[in-house]
Amino acid sequence: MKHRKIIGRLWLLLIVVIVSSLCIGRYAVPLTELGRILFGLPSGGDATMTTVIRNVRLPRILLAGLIGAALSAAGVCFQSVFQNPMASPDILGASSGAGLGAALGLLCGLSARGVMLSAFVCGIVTIVGVFLIGARAQGKQVVNLILAGIMVGSLCNAGISYIKLVADPTNQLPAITYWLMGSLSGVKWSDLQFFAPFIAVGAVPLLLLRWRINILSLGDDEARTMGVSTDRLRWLVICCATLLTAACVAVCGMIGWVGLVVPNLCRRLVGNDVRVLLPSGLLLGASFLLIVDNVSRSLLATEIPIGILTAFIGAPFFLWMLMRKEKL
């Protein structure tokens, strides 16, 4: 009952944040007009207000919510699989690989959709390489995966630095730098249609298997005694979480801290039970990134890259959690 109340409050928080996000901005929209626009009723506002809500804010808000939920879900799964609260969605190098793909796309002059596809494909290829290295290495597979992810991620970061070095400093370099900071500006309905299927493919299996993930977090020996195939389940969870991470980075750039801070905060609210932790992480992650996006587009005259704000908010908050006496 306690967990149901918490999840209900997180649903309420998400609804309030979504409605507030639709009203907040440089072009303020009254709440009454917002309801008329969303339900297709005659509006007292001008046509510009309707266009702003339906074609600019609504797709951006939905996409921000999906990205926050996806990154948070990936963080919950990685932390449970690796039994480490410091694990994050980029622990296996998916974010660095996707960033390298986007930098290559921008260097080659691809379109916006081409850059997204390049980032997504490179992120997946990076994880495949990490899996192959981890499978061939001697020792524990979990440790091998983490070490391989760190090494491959470093190589991808080196590749990004080299691309910045050879890129045109007038046009290409600023575009690459801004993209790597993470941004949701210019999001369209087509981006949401491109992104949503990957989120569904990655998130639905995790939700259906969350009780098995809960058993896996106890350790391999305990999980095997309960009839769970640990290796197969671990690979499946990692693949789904990686798919979520690569898709997020491909659409909006590299956004850190969401998959690290939100799962730890949810763990303080509902405990370590993944059956409750994963749904609460989805809801709180969506609300968190929506709030950060509102600050990003409303604080200054020019939009602040969302990756900068998540670091400014996430790092001090995580330090505060570390300094408390309770364990993460």
- Per residue in 117-164, pLDDT (tens digit) is 999 999 999 999 998 888 887 777 778 888 899 999 999 999 999 999
Of 198, 202, 279, the C-alpha closest to 241 is 202
206 in a domain, yes or no?
A: yes
Q: Is 80 exceeded by the pLDDT of residue 294?
A: yes
- Min mean pLDDT across 52-66, 209-223, 296-310 is at 209-223
As a whole number of angstroms, the distance between CA 89 and CA 75 comes to: 5
Cα 108 versus chain centre, distance: 26
45 in a domain, yes or no?
A: no
Q: pLDDT-derived band of residue 97, with 50, 70 and 90 as boundaries?
A: very high
As a whole number of angstroms, the distance between CA 74 and CA 202 comes to: 9
Total domain count, the chain: 1
As a whole number of angstroms, the distance between CA 8 and CA 267 comes to: 16
**Which distant-in-sequence residues (6+ apart) come within 8 Å of 257 by Cβ?**
88, 310, 311, 313, 314, 315, 318
User: What local confidence, expressed as pLDDT, does residue 1 receive?
Assistant: 67
Q: Indicate the residue type of 256.
A: G
As a whole number of angstroms, the distance between CA 243 and CA 149 comes to: 15
1 in a domain, yes or no?
A: no
At 241-254, the pLDDT tens digits run 999 998 998 888 88
Of 16, 17, 44, 42, the C-alpha closest to 30 is 44
- pTM listed for this prediction: 0.91
Scan for tokens 């992104």, then name that residue.
195
Q: pLDDT-derived band of residue 45, with 50, 70 and 90 as boundaries?
A: low
**216 touches 80 (CB < 8 A):** yes
Phi-psi region of 187 (alpha: psi -120 to 50; beta: other; left: phi over 0): beta
Q: pLDDT-derived band of residue 44, with 50, 70 and 90 as boundaries?
A: low
User: What local confidence, expressed as pLDDT, does residue 299 receive?
Assistant: 82
User: What local confidence, expressed as pLDDT, does residue 33 receive?
Assistant: 84
200 in a domain, yes or no?
A: yes
Q: What percent of the chain has pLDDT over 70?
A: 95
**Average pLDDT across the chain, whole number:** 87
Please tell me which residue, 223 or 136, carries the higher pLDDT value.
Answer: 136
3-state secondary structure 100-164: HHHHHHHHCCCCHHHHHHHHHHHHHHHHHHHHHHHHHCCCCHHHHHHHHHHHHHHHHHHHHHHHH
68 in a domain, yes or no?
A: yes
Q: pLDDT-derived band of residue 43, with 50, 70 and 90 as boundaries?
A: low
**Polymer length in residues for the chain:** 328
Indicate the SS3 state at residue 175. Answer: helix
Task: Give me the mean pLDDT over the 1-24 stretch.
Answer: 92
38 in a domain, yes or no?
A: no
User: What local confidence, expressed as pLDDT, does residue 312 receive?
Assistant: 86
CATH of residue 280's domain is 1.10.3470.10
Buried b (16+ CB within 10 A) or exposed e, 271-284: eeebebbbbbbbbb
At 310-326, the pLDDT tens digits run 888 878 877 877 776 55
| DSSP string of 66-97, one letter each residue | HHHHHHHHHHHHHHHHTT-TT--TTTTSHHHH
313 in a domain, yes or no?
A: yes
328 in a domain, yes or no?
A: no
As a whole number of angstroms, the distance between CA 158 and CA 155 comes to: 5
**Which distant-in-sequence residues (6+ apart) come within 8 Å of 283 by Cβ?**
7, 10, 11, 13, 14, 69
Residue numbers of the domain that contains 116: 60-323
Task: Give me the mean pLDDT over the 222-249 stretch.
Answer: 84
Q: pLDDT-derived band of residue 50, with 50, 70 and 90 as boundaries?
A: confident
